[in-house]
Amino acid sequence: MSYKSYLSILGYLFLILYAQGCNAPSEPISELVTGRGIVTSKGMVVTAHPLASEVGATVLKNGGNAFDAAVAVQFALAVVYPGAGNIAGGGFAVYRKENGEIGSLDFREKAPLAAKVDMYLDEGGEVIDGLSSFGALSVGVPGTVDGMIQLHQKLGTLPFKDLVQPAIDLARNGFLLTELEANKLNRFQDQILQANDSTTYFFNPQKWQKGDLVVLPQLANTLELIRDSGRAGFYSGCVANYLIEEMASGNGIISQIDLDSYKAVWRDPVQGSFKQYNIISMPPPSSGGIALLQLLKGSETYDFNAFGHNSVRSIHLMTELERRVYADRATYLCDPDFVEVPVAMLLDSIYLKTRFSDIHMDAKTDSRKIKEGAVDAIESIETTHFSIVDKERNAIAVTTTLNGNYGSKVFVEKGGFFLNNEMDDFSVKPGAPNQYGLVGGKANAIAPGKRMLSSMTPTVVEKEGQLFMVVGSPGGSTIITSVYQTILNVVEHNMDMQQAIHAKKTHHQWMPDRILYEQSGLDTTIQSGLEHLGHALEARNPIGQINAVLVLPDGRLQGGADPRGDNMACGLK
């Protein structure tokens, strides 16, 4: 494809901004302004990739609402952000309409009907390393396409075909790799090759470089079928056949019956108050909403502002709350369609007061005294989140994933897309950690047709009955704590949206019993103070990648995009 043709698709000035790191222009371009921490009036889209953000903002500019933009962004991310953006994964959405109506959509993957509770164990009952996270057997039944179709049918206004077309154009004509995405592809080349063969579009023996053009004609064909035939374009016909062929060649177990029977589910969000704010978040099978509400309710009686941001006292208290909340996660949370989840109990003020009553500010608690468990390691992960608000103040938070980077690493060559490895989010054996170090119990055991537990935490925050914030993050087990700290940073530490996102994060998840902190995030005095209280510390980079929108006191929108990635906000003046 010629350089001139590429520019005709993306726009000359936007491409210059993209190549230079997408610094915000001083004047709006055709009503669109792009950057980090930008403030606009008529709408805001914040995603993990500049091109996806521009696609969403253009939908708003062309008269679409926030929900139209979400559909367009999801399909665009499936092209330009292949590590996590997807059509063969799943996720969750939480929305708030301008009239105050709220809801949530569960398009989480399911276990295939042939799945068995012990399918990843050897004859001795021990976990077979990597079987639940790599290759065709790790794939759950995809939910993204059905989810986007249901979202559009209920809340969209523009024709569905117009929302898929930008992704088709990007796949057909190509897009330029960012440095981060090129490095990521290079890092996973061996695994991608192991799961496929050297003909896959994402294998490059010469190594990928920033600015390389990636063209995905097979993915463009698949997206055209989805555009023209809706659900049938993915879950039946040739695309379904391609997926099932991949299952057969790699000992996977997804069948046509699995694809035919998959349905996304509309659920009532979980809600709770935090001071003068109302928190609206995702219910099970996501653990995110319940855990976030537990953390915020536990924080309510403390003066974090007086403690100071990332002080010894603040980090100690957050850690003590987090270790108890993650222990509850391992015990109680799962797919509510299979096991009754005690939501009311977990959010009950008396229960939480008792649960947090043994927190002491002068010493850490041993996680083993809270609940039995053991974890050896925690690995890197990849999810993606986007937040959108339109001029009417409709709002949506969407977190979507393949689970690990590039999911199972299995690439459906004829369809042009990666398959997820979401089966690893089940408790393959109670008490055994998954690839992110999260321990699960019997409630999250594998069962045919069951949705696996998640940490995704798409969230909408209201203040005095009005929209205040839309927020979420990737990061596996660190999603919940990243969202929690971002809300605290705004509400308790008086940061603006971009400052709250940029601030260094910490994380504790009950097991392993140590605090993760971002490189250069804690000075030696803070580290010494936490160690004096008994905490073990481990440096890590990065923690989370928040994308969020804040409604300012004057009604304008601030788009916060995480500098830990290629994340970018794009809004309408």
Structure token pair of residue 377: 């390691």
Q: What is the DSSP pairing of strand 383-390 with strand 547-551?
A: unpaired
Q: What angle do CA 404, 106, 388 make, to 5 degrees?
A: 85
Token couple for 158: 């523009």
Neighbours of 571 (CB within 10 A): 31
Sheet with 537-540, side-by-side order of all strands: 506-507, 515-518, 537-540
Helix, strand, or coil here: 289? helix
DSSP line for 307-358: H-TT-HHHHHHHHHHHHHHHHHHHHH-S-TTTS---HHHHH-HHHHHHHTTT
Residues 6+ apart with CB under 8 A from 254: 112, 139, 141, 243, 244, 247
Q: How far apart are CA 455 and CA 202, in angstroms?
A: 28
Q: How many residues does the chain have?
A: 573
Place of tokens 């409630």: 443
Active site residue: 40, 178, 383, 459, which one?
383
Cα 48-50-53 angle, rounded to 5 deg:
80
Neighbouring residues of 543: CB distance < 8 A, sequence distance ≥ 6: 475, 478, 481, 482, 504, 505, 506, 507, 516, 517, 518
Nearest to 208 by CA among 187, 232, 186: 186
Paired tokens of 243: 């997926």
327 near 371, Cβ under 8 Å? yes
DSSP state, 546? -
Query: Distance between alpha carbon 17 and the CA centroid of its chain, in Å?
Result: 26
- Would you say the C-alpha torsion 47, 50, 53, 57 has a positive or negative sign? positive
How many CB atoms within 10 Å of residue 482? 27
Beta bridge partners of 439: 433
Tokens of 97: 């309409």
**332: closest CA among 305, 309, 351?**
351
Among 238, 236, 194, CA closest to 218: 238
Q: Is residue 324 within 8 Å of residue 297, measured between CB atoms?
A: no
Partnered with residue 107 across adjacent β-strands are 91
**Do residues 383 and 457 touch, judged by C-beta distance below 8 A?**
no
Phi/psi for 483 (5° steps) reads: -65, -45
In the residue annotation, 301 being an active-site residue is answered as no
CB 58 within 8 A of CB 572: no
Per the CB < 8 A criterion, the answer to whether 378 and 437 are in contact is yes
CA distance 5 to 10: 9
Could you give the CA distance from residue 396 to residue 289 in angstroms, rounded to a whole number?
Answer: 15
Catalytic residues: 383
